[in-house]
Amino acid sequence: MTRLSAAFTKGRPALVTFVTGGDPTPGATASILDALVEGGADVIELGMPFTDPMADGPAIQLANLRSLGAGTTTADIFRIATEFRARHPEVPLVLMGYANPMTIRGADWFAAECVKAGVDGVICVDIPPEEDPELGPALRGAGVSLIRLATPTTDAARLPAVLDGSSGFLYYVSVAGITGMQQAAQTSIDEAVARIKASATIPVAVGFGVRTPEQAAAIAKVADGVVVGSALVDLVAKHGADAAGPVKELTAALAAAVHSARKGAL
């Protein structure tokens, strides 16, 4: 069993948390990641800053700009990942970002760096499965999970292509829009998760627009995992290098809600 698969086999839904690497500075990211772990997050997504984060709303767009403005490089992201793995040998770490930083030096190079840094999985937002001759095979060949995205517009005809070659978990984007701006109706999430889980053999985690423990708990009743990003990134924007405390506090509230969402359910 891998670190990533173990996160979804604890007998309860998993909390997946996202922050942007290098925000507010590369040196400050370590304490924020530690706060996520201490707060009870089961999986950590570390965003790779990019100049054109097309799937992201204002909160994460600004986080990318802060990180890049602080001089964060891909080498810094792998250093942050390597140091995280040394401090937290059992906590799954996923890199999330866009194709350019992942492929500009070659997919094989990127996959090898992931292995060296102890990265468990990769989410590449802008390479669809139909156009992935290099990154996906390189990651799979290196034993790194490629985590694909499904959306409200992923119909039954296309879902098999999304699931093919995906591992770790499937990330269901609950809204047809950008991160952090709106939340889908719970009934639509319930229906979509049920439809995807009927075909998927890997866990299904739901994200985009999840900001509060109450929202997270409702989703956790049906999904294998809940992803929260923008609400945490907002705390980094507000508190900067002192964000660890507020981040831990929100993470703990989210973790309590997600982990207990099915208690008493038959």
Annotated catalytic residues are 45, 56
Among residues 169, 132, 131, which one has the least CA distance to residue 148?
A: 169
Strand partners for 124: 97
Cite the beta strand spans of the chain per DSSP E: 14-20, 43-47, 93-97, 121-124, 145-146, 149-150, 170-173, 204-207, 225-228
What is the Cα–Cα distance from 242 to 228, expressed in whole angstroms?
A: 20
φ, ψ dihedrals at 110, nearest 5°: -65, -45
Map residue 145 onto helix, strand or coil.
strand
Residue 48 CB partners (closer than 8 Å, separation 6+):
21, 74, 77, 95, 96, 97, 98, 101, 102
